[in-house]
Amino acid sequence: MTEEAGFFDLFSPPEGFLGSFGWVCGFTASAAVMKEIADRFTQGAGTFVATHRRHALFLITDQASGQIKPFEAPGVHHMTLGPKWAETFKGSGLFHAKVALLHFLEERPQGQKRPKEILRLVVSTGNWTRETLESNIDLFWRTEVRFVDRKPAGQEGDDEALADIQAAFGMFQAIRPALSPNPWQGAAQPDDLPDAGLARLVEGLARPKAQPRFFHSLDAPLRRPLLARFPTTTRPGTKADLLLMGSGFYAGGDPARSEGDEPQGAEAFLVDLASDLTSKQPKWPVTVVLNRDACQGLAEASRLLVKSGWQFFEPRFPEGHSSGAGKLHAKFIYRGKRKTLDGVLYIGSGNLTPAGLGVRRSGGFWNFEAGVAFPVKSKASPEVALPWDSGKRINLETTKLQFGELFHRSELFDGSCPISHFTLRETDEAPCLEPGWAEPETAQSQAVGVEARHSGGEWQSLDGRIELERGTRPPAQVDLRMSNPGSKHHMTVPVLGEAGALVLPELHYRRLEDVLDALMLVDQTGRDSDLSGEENDGGLAGTGSQTTTGDAGNGDIYFSRRLMAVITALGESQAGLRVDQCRLWAARLVEHSRSLKRTEPAVIKNLQEMQLNPFSHLSREEFMPVGLTSDDAGVLRAAHDQVAALWGLKGFDGFVREGQA
């Protein structure tokens, strides 16, 4: 178990920075936890998506983790293993690595040519789920490097951290082509990719000057790089007298024989591992931390290991936490001093099993894992720093260890879907959704057995593009159902605009006054409404405007009065924006005005008959926020022009100011 604040702090930006993009991988992940992670990372995921029209985090999991659908966790795009994974990864095991590589940008750069940047690497023993937060014991490690003008700032420890980051970036780049289709993988320009800023920063680095502490098992098991980071002799002056190993899983083949002293299975694996870790060292007692009611192969193997001086302990849970409510899930190896934390520590995703770390011989079966091994030195004891309590030794004469439940893997997220997204096309006849095929040249054959639906409609065979009724709001996502022999796989893919930007779940506003409330929310809080949840037709309860609808019986005067009140208030709200809020405000003005085209047709018709364009009023200099760059001013004016064109008001004059005639 980890403290919740500490867990989410792994993704929180330093003061003055905001998350820009990140790769995250794990065996499993839940929508609720990823939603909170994305919100912490961006300081408002709904606002980030509405402003940038893209996701902030690309999440990769094993197929055993069900898909997190678009906008279940705003800012997160979920991928899994695609058909090419078997060619990329030779180990044939689970996708089990738990890593995050994050890119942060300075929020308000002061004077320099480019914003300062930060790259952060996180290695976890736990998945991105509630169990990691609420019940299990897990460990985390992170390192980061600050950049000025795209160059490392030269802080102490940067060489090792840069080597770690480059190794992790290389891992994500290597597995990327073997994942389920990515809507942005066909971007015409590298700068159009969501991770362009992160990639540019890492690819501009010189070759690492240090051995990375981070390692993974894409090409070979973790065992060899792990042992390479545990030198055969400790550094001069250090007297190591403790080998401490902990894992949530200890399966390792056949259990030990009922008679005889030769190690087998889990026992043999751990004996070999301990021998390799203590080579050329005195043979200390090996200390093992385990879940006594779920320790798999050690339930039988422990009785022979005890004869060799091995000791077994229950995990130490945080104060106030009941050990019955969770399990040791952390995977760690510490070799060093017993009284103070002084030695080498491994933490990672790889359990202390042949599948988790690999065996002495090359080849075989192993999981895709990642970990980090590094020197540690602290006045605190290993018992304080690690989930071990020397007072919780298990007496095997009075306590029988339990095997626990076997692990059964299921496939919940099929990565072979031939469609990565749909593109919204505006045609002269009616808008349509055009499927984005992973392999366009074989689209016709891929479409066989694929059904689609959107906006709560009926399933229909996907024969080509999906026609939309004119005047209806476009969906932000499409559900797919693929028929395979004996099963049906479901997946949901996002809808993109023609420029590759996400189509958002439309926040449907019925009145002009509702739009004013929503845009004033941006002005007052700097954040947007929540994008998560189902698309709906409900409006927002107003909190900012004091306008009233009045009496509709006054015709043109009524519509003009309402519009004048809203436009005047919007001008004041726009003028008070912070510079960093302008792009979000502009994006939402266009979105909400598109909604009003359907819900306030009488107002729009009245404007057309009056040949009046009130949005030119917003483009006046006195209603522009103070301190805008020419680029940001251009974004606002472009939004005003876009709304005017959307409502059929382009070319009409704006309001006449007093004193002008």
Instruction: Look at residue 641 and tell me whether its pLDDT is greater than 70.
Output: yes
* pLDDT (0 to 100) of residue 478: 96
- The helix (run of H) or strand (run of E) holding residue 461 is strand 460-461
Indicate the residue among 191, 216, 241 that finishes a domain.
Answer: 216
Please identify which residue in the block is written with the tokens 């483009």: 619
Q: In angstroms, how far is CA 619 from the centroid of its own chain?
A: 37
* pLDDT (0 to 100) of residue 320: 60
Residue 401 lies in a domain: no
Q: Best-predicted range by mean pLDDT among 25-34, 82-91, 508-517? A: 25-34
Distance CA 313, CA 301 (A): 15
* pLDDT (0 to 100) of residue 587: 77
User: Which whole number is the average pLDDT over 117-140?
Assistant: 94
Phi, psi of 76 (to 5 degrees): -120, 125
Phi, psi of 583 (to 5 degrees): -65, -40
Q: Best-predicted range by mean pLDDT among 273-277, 370-374, 458-462? A: 370-374
* pLDDT (0 to 100) of residue 448: 73
Residue 660 lies in a domain: no
Instruction: Look at residue 228 and tell me whether its pLDDT is greater than 90.
Output: yes
Please identify which residue in the block is written with the tokens 């189902």: 534
Total domains present in the chain: 4
| 389 and 288 in a common domain | yes
User: Which whole number is the average pLDDT over 23-28?
Assistant: 98
User: What are the pLDDT digits (tens) for 378-396?
Assistant: 999 999 999 999 999 999 9
Residue 155 lies in a domain: yes
| 195 and 69 in a common domain | yes
| 67 and 35 in a common domain | yes
Residue with the larger pLDDT of the pair 449 and 341: 341
| Average pLDDT of the chain to the nearest whole number | 83
User: What are the pLDDT digits (tens) for 141-199?
Assistant: 999 999 998 899 888 778 999 999 999 999 999 999 999 988 987 665 666 788 999 99
Q: What is the pTM of this model?
A: 0.81
Least confident of 85-94, 151-160, 228-237, 339-348: 228-237
CATH number for position 487: 2.60.40
Per-residue exposure over 538-549, b if at least 16 CB sit within 10 Å of its own CB, e if not:
ebbebebbebee
Contact 136, 106 (CB under 8 A): no
CATH number for position 270: 3.30.870
Least confident of 57-66, 307-316, 391-400, 470-479: 470-479
Instruction: Look at residue 550 and tell me whether its pLDDT is greater than 50.
Output: no
User: Which whole number is the average pLDDT over 640-644?
Assistant: 90
| 240 and 378 in a common domain | yes
Residue 504 lies in a domain: no
| 227 and 211 in a common domain | no
Q: Best-predicted range by mean pLDDT among 187-191, 353-357, 482-486? A: 353-357
Secondary structure of residue 372 in the 3-state scheme:
strand
Strand ranges across the sheet with 388-393: 214-216, 370-378, 341-348, 331-336, 242-246, 286-289, 311-315, 388-393
Range of the domain at 339: 223-393
| 387 and 270 in a common domain | yes
Contact 392, 316 (CB under 8 A): yes
Give me Rg for the CA atoms of the chain: 29
Instruction: Look at residue 235 and tell me whether its pLDDT is greater than 60.
Output: no
* pLDDT (0 to 100) of residue 181: 84
Give the DSSP letter of residue 177.
G
Contact 492, 477 (CB under 8 A): yes
Secondary structure of residue 7 in the 3-state scheme:
helix
User: Which whole number is the average pLDDT over 206-232?
Assistant: 92
> CA distances (Å), 641 to each of 116, 214, 613, 654, in order?
33, 51, 10, 12
- The helix (run of H) or strand (run of E) holding residue 563 is helix 556-575
* pLDDT (0 to 100) of residue 31: 96
Residue 402 lies in a domain: no
User: What tokens were used for 246?
Assistant: 């902990």
Q: Best-predicted range by mean pLDDT among 41-55, 94-108, 172-186, 640-654? A: 94-108
User: Which whole number is the average pLDDT over 348-367?
Assistant: 87
Please identify which residue in the block is written with the tokens 């736990």: 126
| 152 and 83 in a common domain | yes
Secondary structure of residue 328 in the 3-state scheme:
strand
> CA distances (Å), 201 to each of 117, 153, 169, in order?
9, 13, 11
Residue with the larger pLDDT of the pair 191 and 415: 415
| 533 and 584 in a common domain | yes
Distance CA 18, CA 117 (A): 10
| 531 and 614 in a common domain | yes
Residue 652 lies in a domain: no
| 552 and 461 in a common domain | no
| 234 and 377 in a common domain | yes
Distance CA 286, CA 133 (A): 30
| 364 and 246 in a common domain | yes
Least confident of 30-39, 60-69, 242-251, 599-608: 599-608
Residue 575 lies in a domain: yes
User: Which whole number is the average pLDDT over 522-537?
Assistant: 54
* pLDDT (0 to 100) of residue 620: 87
* pLDDT (0 to 100) of residue 385: 93
**How many CB atoms lie under 10 A from the CB of residue 101?**
24
Q: In angstroms, how far is CA 436 from the centroid of its own chain?
A: 23
Residue 557 lies in a domain: yes
Instruction: Look at residue 562 and tell me whether its pLDDT is greater than 90.
Output: no
